[in-house]
Chains A and B, each alone.
Chain A
């Protein structure tokens, strides 16, 4: 079945450092790809998404490009802030095979000032 693999955390960075969180997927169809973020004590919030190959999703300085050839959707940000400290989840959905989201394990990001 479909699956998502994320790099393990926690990832600890200093403020203004460059962030990459790796995400790769396995899917039988043509999935949409998502990054969700969970701030402490809150629910899952959509950060960005891409629905087809070579699409780039972006939001709040974060971006990720849907790479079909490498089945990847890595999350990047050029300069992280303390307020970016959260858990980041990569996920996919393939409407051809149902509407559910399949999540990766989540990556904890800690940003130090």
Chain B
């Protein structure tokens, strides 16, 4: 069964460093998403991406964040200058079309020291 994959599973970085989280969505899916879950808090929407551009973003998704589909398979989330409060589990998801079920990856745990 096709699945969303994410790498790395755990990333540790120093405050102020740039990190790139990687995702491989399900191959025939057209919509891609990033969510995050700070420990003990709700899963929160960050951004959705379609046709090589952002279709929707939350207030959390400020200028520190960017997304990219650098090739036909990967979907990345970049955090330019990490802050302590960026420590969270980051989930990638994809759906075949708008409004369809979103399928999630296993997540990347980001720890900012």
A-to-B contact residues, CB < 8 Å: 32, 34, 36, 41-46, 49, 89, 91, 93, 95, 98-106
Main secondary structure on A side of the interface with B: strand
User: Which residues of B1-52 are within 8 A (CB) of A?
Assistant: 4, 6, 31, 33, 35, 41-45, 48
Identity of the chain B residue whose Cβ is nearest the Cβ of A93 in the assembled complex: B99
Cβ-defined contact, B58 with A43, below 8 A? no
Given A42-B106, A100-B45, CB of A95 within 8 Å of CB of B99: yes
Q: How far is the CB of B109 from chain A (nearest CB, A)?
A: 11
Give chain A residues whose Cβ lies under 8 Å from the Cβ of B33: 99-101
Cβ-defined contact, A43 with B42, below 8 A? no
Q: Which 6 A-B pairs have the closest CB atoms?
A: A43-B106, A95-B99, A100-B45, A44-B104, A103-B43, A43-B104
**Is B102 on the interface with A (CB-CB < 8 A)?**
yes
Cβ-defined contact, B98 with A44, below 8 A? no
Give chain A residues whose Cβ lies under 8 Å from the Cβ of B55: 99
Report the Cα distance A41→B105, complex, angstroms: 11
Report the Cα distance A41→B102, complex, angstroms: 19
**Is B68 on the interface with A (CB-CB < 8 A)?**
no
Give chain B residues whose Cβ lies under 8 Å from the Cβ of A44: 43, 91, 93, 104
User: Which residues of B78-113 are within 8 A (CB) of A?
Assistant: 91, 93, 95, 98-99, 101-107
Q: How far is the CB of B47 from chain A (nearest CB, A)?
A: 9
Give chain B residues whose Cβ lies under 8 Å from the Cβ of A103: 35, 42-44
Give chain B residues whose Cβ lies under 8 Å from the Cβ of A42: 106
Cβ-defined contact, A100 with B58, below 8 A? yes
Cβ-defined contact, B43 with A89, below 8 A? yes
Residue from A36, A43, A104 in contact with B107 in the complex, judged by beta carbons closer than 8 Å = A43
Cβ-defined contact, A106 with B99, below 8 A? no
